[in-house]
Amino acid sequence: MDVIELIKKEGRRQGLSNKTIITYTFCVKKFMNYNKQEIKFIKKQDIKDYLDYLLDKGATGNTLNVYVSALKFLFSDVLTKRIMLNIKYSKTPKNLPTFLTKEEIKLLINSITNQKHQLMIKVMYSAGLRVSELLNLKLEDLESEKNYGWVRKGKGNKDRLFILASSLKQELLDFIEKNNPKDYLFTNNKNQKYSSRTIQEIVKNTAKKLKINKHIHPHTLRHSFATHLIENGYDLFSVQSLLGHNSSETTMVYIHLANPNLTNIKSPLDSLT
C-alpha cells in the first residue's frame, strides 16, 4: 500500500493546498521511518510515543500540532481507521514544564537495575542533556580530568560545554575501561547506537513502576537539571549557557519552578518589619 500516494490523492480530492499535502506527506514519512511497522498494525500508543519522541527532541507546540493533523488525516480520512487523536499541543508554553524533585530523581535513578542504563540516565540528568545529545556522545567529547565534556553539533548545529558530575567521574572511567567504546560512548548489545525510544522506555517504565504521578519523559530530566541548578543558587546566565539556550527568556521559566525556600528568596513583606 503506497500511503504517500493515497495522501496526495485524498488531499487533492478534498481541495487541500499543495503546501498542506507536501507537509502531510513529509510528516507521515517521518513517522513511518520511525515506527518501522506495517500501517495496519499501528495503534494509538505508537502515535503518542512518536509525538513524545518529537517533544524530547525539542519540537514546538506548532510543530507537534502539524504532525497530529497529518496523522489524523492519514488514519481518519485516507485509511478510515478509527484511531481517535484528541491531542492538541499548546502553541505557546502556557503551562510550566514538569520536573522531578531531587528526591524523585534519586529514586528514579536508584530504581534502574541495568547498570549501563542507570549510568546513561545519570549522565543525562547530571549534564542536562537532550536525548539526541546523550546518544551522540563520543569518548573524544569527554574531558574527564577537567570535569566537563562537549556536545558537538547540538540543537541549532552548535557546540557547547557541559559539566561532568564529580561523583560520576570514576563510574564513567570504569565503564570506559570495561567497555572500550570505539565510536559512540553508549551502544547496545549489538554495538550499535541506542535509539531514542530505548531511553523513553527506560524513563517511562521506571517512573510507572514507582507510580510517580507526573507526565514524565526523558526531557523531564533536563527540566529537573535546570530547576535544581536554580535551587542550588546558580545564576540564570550560567544555566542558560549550560542548556544552550539562545535567549535568557527561554531559561527564565525555571525560576518559576524552583522552590523559593531553596533559592533564598524572601517576600518583600519581610523587609517591612
Are 193 and 187 a contacting pair, CB within 8 Å?
Answer: yes
Q: What is the pLDDT of residue 101?
A: 92
pLDDT the model gives residue 68: 87
Q: Of 8, 122, 130, 217, which residue is the catalytic one?
A: 130
pLDDT at residue 129 in the model:
93
Predicted pLDDT of residue 23: 87
3-class secondary-structure state, position 97: coil
CATH class belonging to 3-78: mainly alpha
Query: What does the pLDDT look like over 72-116, one tens digit per residue?
Result: 899 888 988 877 666 666 554 556 788 999 999 999 999 999 999
What is the domain partition of the chain in residue ranges?
3-78, 102-257
Q: Catalytic site residue 160?
A: no
Contact status, residue 231 vs residue 259, Cβ threshold 8 Å: yes
The candidate with the shortest Cα–Cα distance to 199, out of 97, 48, 73, 57, is 57
Q: Which of 217, 222, 223, 228 is catalytic?
A: 222
Q: Which tens digit of pLDDT belongs to each residue from 184-212?
A: 999 998 889 999 999 999 999 999 999 99
Instruction: Supply the pLDDT for residue 269.
Output: 46
Which of 117, 160, 219, 223 is the catalytic position?
219
* Residue 82 is a catalytic residue: no
- From start to end of 39-147, where are the E strands? 142-143
Distance (Å, whole) CA 219 – CA 206: 15
Predicted local confidence at residue 89, as pLDDT: 61
Q: Which pLDDT score, from 0 to 100, does residue 64 have?
A: 84
Our answer to whether residue 254 is catalytic in this structure is yes
CA 273/CA 271 separation, integer angstroms? 6
222 catalytically annotated: yes
pLDDT score recorded for residue 114: 95
Q: Which of 155, 169, 193, 204 is catalytic?
A: 155
Active site residue 245: yes
Predicted pLDDT at 7: 92
Reply yes or no on whether 219 is catalytic.
yes
What residues of the chain score a pLDDT lower than 70? 1, 84-95, 156, 249, 256, 259-273
Q: Which CATH architecture has domain 102-257?
A: Orthogonal Bundle (1.10)
